[in-house]
Structures are given as C-alpha cells and as structure tokens.
A and B are shown apart, each in its own frame.
Chain A
C-alpha cells in the first residue's frame, strides 16, 4: 500500500471515529435534535456492548427501552438476562432499588435517550453538525468531577438517537445502538406501573 493510499484510509478512519473532526460546528443542532423527536411516548429496541480494557470480549446485551419524555424511561434488558433500570428525574432505580446520589446520571441518560440535549450544555461542551444521513454530536464534560466518570459521549441519530458511545476512564467504552423508534399512544401498563412506583 502506497503512502498516499494509507493517508487517505487513515483520514477516512479518523473522519468516521471522530465526529468532531468530521463536521463543522452547527449552532442550531441542539434545537434541531429536540425538534426531530416529535413524539412524547415511544419504545425502541437496543443492542449494547460494554467494552472493558481488561477483557478481550465485550459484555453484550439487548432489550427494549420504554420512553416517556415527561416521566423518564425504563431500560429493560432481556438478553442475556432480565433486569430493569428505571430512570426518573429524581434518580436511578436498579431492579426496584434506588441508586444513591444518581440524579445527575439520571438526568444525563434521560436527556440523551429523549433527545433533550439542550439541558446538558451547562455540564458539557458540545460539538456537532447535521448531514444528509442525520446528525452527530460530541459531548465533553466541563466539570472535573464529572470528567472523572465520563471522558466523552458521542451520539448519532436521525429522527431519534440511533447510536451512543460513552467513553469512560481506563479506556472502557459503552456502545449502544438503537433501532428506529416506535411511537406509542401510551406506555404498557406494566411499564407505567414501574415508572410510577417509588423505589424501596
């Protein structure tokens, strides 16, 4: 492979893996993302891979997310085992047990999944743009304490979020891909019950 070809391939690789370099800043992007999500209740199928630098194989899972933009969402893992993570404004709840001091993370997840990323601008610097095939957004923590937990968040989508890559310290990465979302008139009763029920 000659040098020119290798340089070209490297450029393509960087362009793909680094959205902040691949497009110029679009100041209207956050409003655009918010407007594209034009339903308030929906469900979406996801597949997830959590890569730990210490292990060669990722932890893979899949399931359904039930979203209510005003209430929060239920992240229901179905494979390889079942579990429910409830995300509300007040915090997280894992399998019926409240997670301590999780309001910040809950708000972050809620904003990412529901496409309400404007609310994150106080905590993150952002860079992103629109293209024919959708939008891409990179968030970097402003706050040092938050940076101890999250290095960077990359999100891509069209009408809703289609891909999330969360880079964490120690080269650990969470990669989630969403199928196109399915609007609902209302959440299933069982999910509503979980979303409305107070934690232990």
Chain B
C-alpha cells in the first residue's frame, strides 16, 4: 500500500501504461478497428450439432438482409401504367440510395440441368395430359408457333414442343404473384392487389451506421408512393433492426444528455469548481480507453454493446474519484498525500472485489460477457491507478455552501440511521425482509431473445401488411429429415409430411421437396410414357410434318430425347432447384442425406416437436427457442456465478475484518440486490441474464458504499457526501435507462436504480456498531490506516 501511495511511483506507472496503451491503440488503428454491432455475435455459439447449425445457417442465409416493400394502391383498380410506374419509381429510388443489391423473389433454376431432364420432370397435370390427351399439348405448341408469341422464345417451342420445361417450372411459381417490371411483382394474393419489391441490403441489417439511412429512404419512398396514390408498407428484419438502432440512438442521446447535465450540475453545485468533473471524467475516460484497447487486443474486435456495458461498469470508478475528492472537504490541514492514504485501503479493496466479480464473466460462453469482463476489469484497474497518479493534482479542500449544507444534512442522516429505537427495529425489519422474500418468489424469468429488440406495434403491423402479399412467408422453426440414401429420404419425408397433414397442428402451407421431386421410379415411368405416347406413336413426327418443320429438326429432337434417358438425382435436383426450394435441400455426405420441411406458420410448437419425436429420422428445429433455452441455461449459470462471487467476497472480507464485520459489510450489497430483484418481481420486470448484469453493477457499487462506511465511520460527513454523490451520479447515469423502450435496457435500468437507492439507504449499516469507536473523531481524524 505504501508503494501505491507513493505519488511519483504512481505517476511513473501511469505515464508508462498510458504510453503503452497509446502505442497499442496506434497499431490497432493502423490495422483497422473492428467494431461489431450484430446482436447475434454476442450470443454463445449454438448448442446444436454442427450439421444442424449448418441447416439453420443454410435456411436463414440472407434472411436478415431481406427487406420487403409492398405498394398498396389507394384507388380501387389502378391501371397497368400506374402500377408499373409506381414500381419503376421505387426501383429508381432504391437503386439511387446505394443501400440495396439486386434481388429476385423467384429465381429460375440451373437451366441446363433441368432442360436435359425435362422428359423425367413432369408435374401431375402434364403427365395426365400426355397419357390421355397428348394432342392438346401439341395444339398449344402449334398455337404458339403460329400465333402471338410475344414474350416467349418461339424457338424453344420448336425444341420442346410439349413445353415440358416451362410446365414443370410453372409449378414452382408462387401462386398469386407475377412479374411486373424489374424486380417488382404484382401480388393478387389478397383481395387488394399490391406491388411487391424484394430488396437485399448491401450490409448487415444490424449495421447501426446504415439504420438511419434506411429509415430515411423509407420515409422518402413513403412520400413518393403517397403522391402516386399508393401506400407503402415495409417488412423484414432490416426494418426492425433499423427502428431499434435509431430508437437506441435517440435514447442514448436523450438519456446521455440528461445524465451529463445532471451530473455536471450536481458536482459543480457541490464543489463550486470544474476540477472534480475533470477528475471523474479523467478516471472514467482513461479507464474506458484502457478497457477498449485491451479488449480489442484480446478479442480482435469490440462489440458496441460491450462498449456500452463496459463503460457503464467502468463508471463505478466514479466512486473512487469522489471519495478522494470529498476526503479533504472542510479540513484546512488536508493534503493530497493525506487524502490518498485515507482512501487507498477502501478503493483498493473495492477495485479488487469488483474485478474479481467481473472476471467471473470470463467463465461464461458468451463472447459479449467475456468482452465485458476484460473491458471492465482493465478499465477499473486503470481508473484506480488514475486516482493515485492524477487526482492529487486536481483535489482541493474547498466546497460550496450548498455542498456544506448537503454534507451536514447527510452527516445527520447517517448519524441518526436507522431512525428507529432498538426496541422497535425488529418488527419493521421482519416486514421488510418478508416483503423482499415475497418479491423474490414473484420474480419470473423471461429469457426470450426477442427482448433484445422489441418493436413498436406500428412496425409489427406494417411488417404484417407487407407479408400479407408474399407467398414465401415462413416460420423460423422447421423440421430436418435425414436418411441413409436419397430414396429412403424421399420415402421418409413423404411419410412424415402425410402424418403432419393429418395431425391437428395448424401450420398453414407445408413446403417439402418430396412434393416437387419425382422419384427415380416415377422419372423412369415419365420417360417411358413420353416415348410411348409421343414418339413411338408417331404423333410428334406427324405434328412436325404438319407445320412444315424440316426432317433434320425432327431428327435433332429425337436425338435429344434418346440422349436424355438418365434420371436426375435428388442431390442434383436440389442443388439446381429455384429459390427458395434450393435452400431446403441440405445435401448428402458420408452420414447420409438431409432435407428440411418448412412451414408457413407455427401455432403450437410443442405439438410439432412431439410429432417429430415419433419419427426416428425427423428432428424439430426451433432456432429462436434454442437461443432462448441457451439464455435460460446461462441465466441459471450466471445466477450461480453471482452467488459464488458474493460468497467469495464475503469470505475475503471476513478474512480481512473478521466474521462479524465482514458479514456486516457484505450485508449491504446482498440487501441491495435482493431488494432490486424483489422490486422487479413486484413490478413484473422479467428476470433475465441482463438483470444479473445490473445486479453485478449494484454489488460493485454498494460494496464500495459499505466498505467506505465501514472504514471511515458513518459519522464522517465527507464519506456520507462522497457516497451520496456516487449514488446520485450512478442513478443519473443508469436510472434513466428505466425509461428505455427496449425491454432488456429497461430491465437493466430499473434493477440498477432500485439496487443503488436500496444500497444507499442501508449503507450506514456497514459502519454501525463496529465503527462506533471511530465515530467521534469527525471530521479531521480519519480512521483509515
């Protein structure tokens, strides 16, 4: 401790470390700073096996970047010109924005693969026509060759007179939509028609930098659409992500401004100087800088949420600065060296216990929490060093008359605490503890990942409006079917889909490859049917002759037929199928073949999961539910970690101060956290991993309160003032998060607000009785040693 209170040594160490950090930051800047904003990267790697994860990734690839725009006409029946003009206007505007890449809603498959297999790939209607009325197919071809062939490539009719390729492809075309112009479609799925334009963002939907640009473009597009008598509705992940990012930015700006104004007003009001502000800002600033540089060095990136939470946790160091800055108030003989000696034991113990607590996050599998652990531990350590090295230059023992008044009031408050005579303390105490116990029992866990990004009802409605016109709206949950071979897979999937259709589960449309892919046997039968009905019967040759096609063209066609005897495998078919069917096919490897069955909607996941359990080769996959389960598991783990950290701190303090005093000190953070959690229970605030993060901050700050009260005695006015200022600045900084519209931030703010207020209210308990011997020494003689 003597080494630490040596000012020259502290300054040398601080300057050296700042130099090292600046050098490290310079190299990081040169190599490029990596700041992530994607919320999902904060989550642990999925607990699913690799193949299941691949399936999830395969199905959801690009999902987050897809924005859907629906232009709904306000007039009853807009003409084609109005429709195509509105679509073109949107297309021009989206191209000019540079926010999007070209996107197709229904892409065509690998043409050569499917063209060569056209004699095998027959849909049911075409197969029936060939079997029963093949002349009809040739009449249609004849009508195309002789008639109005605008928009169809006539030569293809000559090559494929039965139009087998087109007929099969048409079965994949989603019903109720058709091309309009560019990438726009006209949807007639609803009673109202609408223009649908699918857009794909160039960058991630969670790229916070693009959020405002996207919302700005949407607003402009809305105005232009309205001028053309259309209503614009947008849907998709980017809409939600952008709205959440902009909302978060607004909240940060509003709450940040209010808290900064509040903190400055408070500190200037008390100290009548800006030196304390410079001191606290320097402590937190250098701590945050050190935390950022070291976290970036350790992980190769820093997440924006790590930055937010990390800086919040480093904010605990405001305590250290305030205790030092308040130490010499009203003491004419006070010197910075004396102040350092006075606060060193308290803030050193505080920083060690906080670092120990935060380092427990390193044991969790959450990359985000691991980053927060490193950020806050390094940041607090550096802030602590800054107090020793730099703050002595900024400290003065002057205070404003308001500060003196506040100090006197707080001293009286601390001296008179708990304001009840010993005989009357038991009953209210028991009532309070009973209420806390009841509150804790009402605490309800909620680990839903969607709490991370809650959306305004207007956005939810707009998304629903846009999706109403789209045929590819699918639930995030799906089934994976696996089997040893392609044939077994088709058989297994067919059997499962039949069971699914006959079950009571309401799923809307079901998409399964087996409904589109003819088995190898079927393909062979199709080929033989065409051979019999079209070629061997002489029907085609006669038709060619009737329309005057030269013999060499006929021979060419026959050669193509003879060469195309091979059936197409499910793997080749799946790889060349149009989107989104291609996504459903997962391929074959040494362990067998796998495909997915997707659903339009899911109303009862339990029932579907139970149905999948009845089939040995079918698995129910619920990515959102899975992440929620993981969050729940790690909430339980983090609760245990918090309890262990608390017990560890208690053991350490009992070792240092003896059992009675140690327990008295840790009682304050324990009470504060329990009160905060109980209040959350009463208020219906969900208990999640983020509640525990707030609880960790409450433990860190309230431990500071109790340590200083214990070490300095509750009758020392400067300690009471420092603790009051610390509590107020913390509440100003974090308490406002209670008003956030994002559930998870609201939870964080409320827990912290209630926890800090509770800690402040009971903190004098830490000095009560055991520090009595020091309490008459106020104010000039400190007890710290």
Contact = CB atoms under 8 A, between A and B. Distances in A.
Interface of A: 48, 50, 52-57, 59-61, 75, 77, 80-81, 83, 85, 89, 91, 94-95, 97, 100-105, 107-109, 111, 118-123, 142-143, 145-146, 149-150, 166, 168-170, 172, 174, 176
B140 A95 contact: yes
B152 interface: yes
Nearest to B106: A101
Interface string B128-155: 0000000000011011111111111111
21 contacts: A53-B155, A55-B549, A59-B146, A61-B147, A89-B79, A91-B178, A100-B173, A101-B179, A103-B80, A104-B151, A104-B181, A108-B151, A118-B81, A119-B80, A119-B84, A142-B181, A145-B181, A149-B152, A150-B151, A172-B153, A172-B155
Given A95-B143, A122-B87, 11 more contacts: A52-B154, A55-B158, A61-B146, A75-B148, A94-B143, A101-B178, A108-B150, A121-B81, A142-B88, A145-B182, A169-B153
Nearest to B151: A105
A83 B80 contact: no
B220 interface: no
A143 B179 CA distance: 12
A168 B220 CA distance: 38
B148 A122 contact: no
Nearest to A56: B550
B507 to A, nearest CB: 26
B149 A50 contact: yes
B147 A123 contact: no
A77 B153 contact: no
B153 A119 contact: no
Identify the 10 closest CB pairs spanning chains A and B, nearest first. A119-B81, A105-B151, A101-B178, A61-B146, A122-B84, A83-B143, A107-B80, A122-B85, A100-B170, A59-B146
Interface string B82-97: 0011011000000000
Query: Which of B146, B173, B547 has the most CB atoms of chain A within a 10 A radius of its CB?
Result: B146
A170 B149 CA distance: 14
A52 B186 contact: no
A59 B150 contact: no
Contact of A104 (B147, B148, B179, B550): B179
B180 interface: yes
Nearest to B89: A122
Contact of A85 (B143, B170, B181, B550): B143
Contact of A89 (B80, B139, B547, B553): B80
A142 B769 CA distance: 87
Given A50-B145, A75-B147, A174-B148, A104 B182 contact: no
Contacts of B152: 105, 149
A176 B142 CA distance: 17
Contacts of B428: none
Contacts of A91: 178
Contacts of B142: 81, 83
A149 to B, nearest CB: 5
Contacts of B85: 122
Nearest to A60: B146
B548 interface: yes
A60 to B, nearest CB: 8
Interface residues of B, number: 37
Contacts of A59: 145-146, 547-548
A89 B80 CA distance: 8
B121 to A, nearest CB: 17
Contacts of A95: 139-140, 143
B150 A166 contact: yes
Contacts of B139: 81, 83, 95
A116 B367 CA distance: 63
Contacts of A169: 153
Interface in B520-547: 547
Contact of B88 (A60, A104, A122): A122
A149 B153 contact: yes
B143 A168 contact: no
A77 B143 contact: yes
A81 B146 contact: yes
A55 B550 contact: yes
A120 B158 CA distance: 29
Interface in B36-86: 79-81, 84-85
A143 B143 contact: no
A187 B178 CA distance: 30
Nearest to B166: A100
B554 to A, nearest CB: 12
A114 to B, nearest CB: 12
Contacts of B170: 100-101
A44 to B, nearest CB: 14
A77 to B, nearest CB: 6
Nearest to A120: B81
Contact of B147 (A83, A118, A142, A172): A83
Contacts of A53: 155
A83 B774 CA distance: 110
Nearest to B178: A101
B221 to A, nearest CB: 17
A59 to B, nearest CB: 5
Interface string B165-200: 000001001000011111000100000000000000
B179 A50 contact: no
Contact of A50 (B80, B88, B146, B553): B146
Contacts of A146: 181
Query: Which of B81, B144, B158, B549 has the most CB atoms of chain A within a 10 A radius of its CB?
Result: B81
B146 A174 contact: no
Contacts of A166: 149-150
B649 to A, nearest CB: 67
Contacts of A80: 146
Contacts of A101: 170, 173, 178-179
A170 B143 contact: no
Nearest to A81: B142
A77 B150 contact: no
A11 B146 CA distance: 33
A60 B146 CA distance: 6
A54 B155 contact: yes
A48 B146 contact: yes
B575 to A, nearest CB: 23
Contacts of A48: 146-148
A61 B548 CA distance: 13
Contacts of B179: 101, 104, 145
B527 to A, nearest CB: 25
B146 A123 contact: no
Contacts of A150: 150-151
B404 to A, nearest CB: 77
Contacts of B151: 102, 104-105, 108, 149-150
A101 B548 CA distance: 30
Nearest to A104: B179
A52 B181 contact: no
A122 B553 CA distance: 39
B728 to A, nearest CB: 63
Contacts of A172: 153-155
A54 B548 CA distance: 13
B178 A94 contact: no
Contacts of B550: 55-56
Contact of B153 (A100, A102, A118, A170): A170
Nearest to A176: B148
Nearest to A97: B140
B459 to A, nearest CB: 31
B181 A122 contact: yes
Contacts of B144: 94
Contacts of B553: 54-55
A104 B146 contact: no
Nearest to B167: A100
A52 B154 CA distance: 7
Contacts of A168: 149, 153-154
Contacts of A170: 153, 155
A50 B549 CA distance: 13
A115 to B, nearest CB: 14
